[in-house]
Structure 1
């Protein structure tokens, strides 16, 4: 998998959520990673969000879009308790 992101967006995301995009991409190695379409936040491009366990064990939600064969990270944050429960129920 190939990842890309805007460096300014990555910095603002880290300031707001405390999650680096480098950490966020590690959820894509989670064998139980779950995906959902994000139809609320973009009319221009198709966005998805993924919830999974990061390399450090934290549960992270990553919003992304596909650009060719690249996964473009848009944002990342810690999963809520409700999202964690949904993830666990899906395993």
Structure 2
């Protein structure tokens, strides 16, 4: 099981903006079909994780710090991300 870390204020902001907090978003890692893709970021290596929560597609932006998953953002998946997940 992954160990998660995140900024609590960012999690609250994410809940208001996207309807999901970072604690709930951790369920994405229970999806055996979750997809992880490295994405471009000028700051650090980041990854897009696409998976299902309650039969809805969600996308998370994360980075890895030591052995922890650092949640940066979570939102409903875009159409292209859903297509990628379903392919």
TM-score normalised per structure 2: 0.90
Give the number of aligned pairs.
86
Question: What whole-Å deviation, never above 9, does each CA across 1:33-57 have from its counterpart, x for those lacking one?
Answer: 1111120xx3221111100112x22
Gapped runs of 5+ residues in structure 2?
Answer: none
RMSD in angstroms over aligned alpha carbons? 1.1
User: Equivalent residue for 1:68?
Assistant: 66
User: Counterparts of 2:42 and 2:84 in 1: how far apart (Å)?
Assistant: 26
Q: Runs of at least 4 residues of structure 1 off by over 6 A?
A: none
Question: What whole-Å deviation, never above 9, does each CA across 1:27-76 have from its counterpart, x for those lacking one?
Answer: 1111111111120xx3221111100112x222100000000010000000
TM-score normalised per structure 1: 0.87
